Amino acid sequence: MKRTWLILLGGIAAGCVAYAGIYLRTTSAQRSMEQSTRPELAWLKKEYHLTDAQFAQVVQLHDAYHPKCAEMCRRIDEQNGKIQQLLAATNAVTPEIKQALDGAAQLRTQCESAMLQHFYEVSRVMPPEQGKRYLAWVQQETLLPGQMVPTSPGKGMTQR
């Protein structure tokens, strides 16, 4: 009976140990990224096979771009608020509404140009093939319309 219990519990223990071992191994990279200071950037290093120096440059470019992005975000909100006010005040397309919509379109062009500029700079830091992959993916996610859920890099172009 003792031997039976040993086999019974030994089997369960072996299963649990195997589960924990493979789970920890599979998620080790993810956990180390979560512990990094910038997990939203750390995945770029793994995904695009960046060296430490390349990744440091990417972080630098990102930090330089971020205030510009926040400023654009503020201007978009401001412009949207203006359009909403104008739309609420009338039931016809007035010259003011046309002007506000033109302003929003111009702002979108400026934002997209700045984004594209940033993406090109980041892609130039990466190894050439990885840079191409990055550009294809990030353009798919940001500049091309109709995107609902971010796709996995390398899959984006085929999913559309």
Partner 1 sequence: MKENQPFKKNEALSKLLKTWKPEAELPPRFQEAVWNRISCADDARALTLWQAVGVWFEKTFSRPALAISYVAVLLFAGLGAGYWHGDGKTAQAASEWRTRYVQTVDPYQMPR
Q: Which positions from 118 through 137 interact with partner 1, judged by CB under 8 A?
A: 118-119
**Among 57, 59, 65, 135, contact with partner 1 (rule: CB under 8 A):** 65
**Among 43, 96, 97, 135, contact with partner 1 (rule: CB under 8 A):** 43
Q: Could you give the 3-state DSSP secondary structure of residue 50?
A: coil
**Would the CA dihedral through 41, 43, 44, 50 be positive or negative?**
positive
**Would the CA dihedral through 35, 37, 42, 45 be positive or negative?**
negative
- Please check whether residue 97 is in contact with residue 90, taking contact to mean a CB–CB distance below 8 angstroms: yes
**Among 50, 100, 125, 138, contact with partner 1 (rule: CB under 8 A):** 138
**Cα 78 from Cα 76, distance rounded (Å):** 5
Q: Which residues bind partner 1 (CB under 8 A)?
A: 1, 3-4, 7-8, 10-12, 14-27, 29-30, 33-34, 39-44, 47, 62, 65-66, 69-70, 72-73, 76-77, 108, 111, 115, 118-119, 138, 141-142, 150, 152-153
